[in-house]
Amino acid sequence: MLRPHHVILAGPGLQAFDMMRRAYEERLEQAVLPWLLKSTAIYLLPSESAAIVEGMMRRTLWVVDRNRMEATE
C-alpha cells in the first residue's frame, strides 16, 4: 500500500503490546514519513486466536487479486 488510511494490527501477540509500545512507536517514527504517519490511523485488535489474522489475510489477498484483474482488463 502506498497511502493507507488505516492499518490494523491483529492477533494473539498483541496481548503483550503494552510492553513493546514505546519501541514500536519510536521505530515507526523513524521509518515512516511524518505526513503519512499523521494521516494513517493504527488500530490494535488483540485476539485469543490467529483466526482473525487468517481471515484478514484472505480478504486482503482477494482484494489485491481483484484489483489486479480489473487493471488488466
Cβ-based neighbours of 29, under 8 Å, separated by 6 or more? 37
pTM over 0.75: no
Centre a 10 Å sphere on the Cβ of residue 5 and count the other Cβ atoms it contains: 8
Residue 19 lies in a domain: yes
Residue 1 lies in a domain: no
Range of the domain at 23: 6-72
Q: Which three cell numbers stand for residue 69?
A: 484483474
- Give residue-wise pLDDT tens across range 38-69: 888 888 887 766 677 788 888 889 998 988 88
CA distance 42 to 10: 11
Q: Are 7 and 42 in contact (CB under 8 A)?
A: yes
Give the total number of structural domains in the chain: 1
- % of the chain at pLDDT higher than 70: 90
